[in-house]
Amino acid sequence: MSVLRVTRTDTIVDVRLYRPDKANALSQQMLMEFDVLTDALMRGTGIGEGARAVVLSGEGGRAFSAGNDITSLQGLSASEATQQMLRGQEIFQRLEDCPQVTIAAIDGVALGGGLELAMACDIRVASPTSRLGQPEITLANIPGWGGTQRLPRLIGEGRAIELILTGELVDAARAEQIGLVNRVTDDPVATAHQLASAIAAKAPTAVDEALKAVYAGARHGIVHGLLVEARGVGTCCTTPEQREAVQAFLDRKKPSTPKETV
């Protein structure tokens, strides 16, 4: 049975982590299903064809995801553990790279790999009772699916190091304060859908190029980011949507023709 429930409404893809009895822990089967899904989103095939936004949530109301299924790490050699982490990193990176905007709707805990999955999304919204963190240190380990890289990018190096080294969890209000989530809302799924609909209504090339530019700078520095930004503007200028929008704007700004006098 599938552990990702994937549905589509118009241009928005809904992805629900479905292991409620395990707090939606990320099993190897779930990673395989994410692998297939992110490939379709990147290629724009299957459920990804014409998709403009993706909303991720967890089944059950008590957890977005409690993290990696701990049993999958039991008894691994260093090489096996490394390969498992690299595989998860690759899948999460594809999620970050996909041209659709991705929004994590967090209701309940987002811990370890669950938080790393949410951080691979472009936007995060959370319910007031949510708790987030990277508690791997309490199991004598470290985040392995991007937490050491994305957490500092979102909340700053000092705060990220503190959370990673203490394993401390933060509540939703604190997560919003430090920039780990964008919004706190009573219904994160509904809010995520509102955001998804608003962004899906924008020109797709502009959304894609904006995301590329933001992440290019975050990964490779401002010089490279500025180059990607400039090229993105160039790409947008060739699209029918941009030309039509500019023309409509100019038409609204045209002065009215003065009446002839006799």
- Give catalytic residue positions: 116, 136
CA 145 – CA 23 distance, rounded (Å):
18
SS3 assignment, position 61: coil
Sign of the dihedral through C-alpha 228, 233, 234, 238: positive
At 208, list the tokens. 């894609």
Q: What is the DSSP letter of 257?
A: P
Could you give the angle at which helices 157-166 and 147-155 cross, rounded to 10 degrees?
130
CA-nearest of 203, 192, 213, 188 to 237 is 203
Sign of the dihedral through C-alpha 71, 74, 77, 78: positive
Question: Left, alpha or beta for 115 (phi > 0: left; psi -120 to 50: alpha)?
Answer: alpha
Q: DSSP string covering 79-121, please? A: HHHHHHHHHHHHHHHHHHHSSSEEEEEE-SEEETHHHHHHHTS
Residues 6+ apart with CB under 8 A from 175: 126, 130, 132, 181, 184
